[in-house]
Amino acid sequence: MHKATKKKVTIKDVARATDVHVSTVSRALSPNGRASLSAEVVTKIRAAADEMGYRPNRVAAGLRTSRTMSVGIVIPDITNTLFPPIVRGVESVLEGAGYASILVNTDNDAEREARLFDVLMERGVDGIIDAAVTNSDDKIVNMAASVPIVTANRLVEGSGIPAVINDDANGVRMMVQRLYDAGHRNIGLLAGPALLSTSIARRQAFEAAMHPLGLPANADVVAVSDNYTEDEGSRCAEYLLDKQPEVTALLCSNDRLAIGAIDALQGRGLSCPADVSITGFNDIPFLDLIPPGLTTVQILQFDLGRIAAEILLKRMTEPDARVPETTIMPVSIIERGSIAPPRNGRASTQS
């Protein structure tokens, strides 16, 4: 029975009440049961602690043990619906293991990110899940020397930092095939920001998938966005549609670009998929409700976070354990209504 206690009761109070030394209380309350305490004194202490409403002070414990039982979760922006499920996945593992999460948003600002790392380090987090890294990120590589880090959804190339990412290559390949099968021969790519690993991987995958089909995938059919936003999707779609009017399909590096592209289409009186087919990546929440229903590559957001957290947990609890450097999560195609045969009924050929 916890009494509603206003003033904090410490281990010392419990010791006094049970007439033992504080160290005995500490051991009695410690989960890793110290063998050398008699069962009766343990139960007596536990009962008293409970009765008195004792709550351990993890700040003090953290100072002594330098383990705060907290982790940092670094994401670009919590309002981007891609990330909350990942965060929940992370927490599903870490919360059960007793960790609390400090969540920070970088807004894709490197300077901000660096500052936030300091914030996390000053708080002595035991580990970090980072879903906001850029493809080459000095700061995080430095940090990785002093605290376990796992990146989620993105990776830092050649850093050796464990990463859990998606099978971008396969997702893009399958999607290109879908478009090809529908008859498209002029496919454009709305690529993501140049410095993100997802953008890079998907662009490479695009080229790798187009080539065997004898389709061009050079810079002419690619528009590189500055940001994974709807606005950038619109801008890039406009750009590409102007530059390459014969394009009949746009493969977008993520859903938000795709949404923006659809909007741009409508802006010039065209429609998706009648005039231009458009595909996305991620299958973010609510996407199914937005017309015309984007055909997209579904990633396992929650599981991605979950597995990243499992790896981090392993690194935190067994520092010497070997963990996979890169874990690739499977993806699948979700067919909705944004792919149709090319306009004017024929599969146009390029050049």
Partner DNA sequence: AGTTTTTATGCAAACGTTTGCCTTAAACCT
Partner DNA sequence: AGGTTTAAGGCAAACGTTTGCATAAAAACT
Residue ranges in contact with its own copies by CB under 8 A: 4, 6, 8, 55-60, 62-63, 68, 70, 77-79, 81, 84-85, 87-88, 91, 100-105, 118-124, 142, 145-146, 259, 285-286, 289-291
Q: Which letter does DSSP use for residue 192 in this model?
A: -
* Contact by Cβ (8 Å): 131, 152: yes
The partner in contact with residue 6, picked from its own copies, DNA, none with C-beta cut-offs of 5 to 8 angstroms by kind, is its own copies
347 binds DNA (CB under 7 A): no
Among 22-30, 134-142, 229-237, 333-341, the segment contacting DNA (CB under 7 A): 22-30
Angle made by CA atoms 345, 348, 351, in degrees to the nearest 5: 165
H/E element, 42: helix 39-52
Residue 11 touching DNA (CB under 7 A) = yes
With CB under 5 to 8 Å by kind, the binding choice for 81 among DNA, its own copies, none is its own copies
- Considering just the CA atoms, what is the radius of gyration of the chain in Å? 26
Is 38 a binding residue for DNA by CB under 7 A? The answer is yes
| Ordered DSSP codes for 247-262 | --EEEESSHHHHHHHH
CA distance linking residue 119 with residue 255, whole number of Å: 32
Q: Which of 56, 96 has the CB closer to DNA?
A: 56
Question: DSSP letter string over 64-93?
Answer: HHS--SEEEEEES-TTSTTHHHHHHHHHHH
Sole binder of DNA in the list 37, 114, 174, 208 (CB under 7 A): 37
Measured at the alpha carbon of residue 154, what is the angle toward residues 78 and 156, in degrees to the nearest 5? 125
CA–CA distance, 297 with 279 (Å, rounded to integer): 8
Q: Tokens 């870490």 — which residue?
A: 94
Q: Is 274 in the site for DNA (CB under 7 A)?
A: no
Q: Which does 145 bind (CB under 5 to 8 A by kind): its own copies, DNA, none?
A: its own copies
- Residue closer to its own copies (CB basis): 89 or 342: 89
What would the two tokens of residue 55 be? 């709550």
Q: How far is the CB of 28 from its own copies (least distance, A)?
A: 18
Between β-strands 163-166 and 326-329, what pairing exists: parallel, antiparallel or unpaired? Answer: parallel
36 binds DNA (CB under 7 A): yes
CB of 323 to DNA, least distance (A): 24
By beta-carbon proximity to DNA, the closer residue of 26 and 80 is: 26
- Whether 105 contacts 73, CB under 8 Å: no
Give the footprint of DNA on this chain (CB under 7 A).
8, 10-12, 19-27, 29-30, 34-38, 40-41, 54-57, 60-61, 63-66
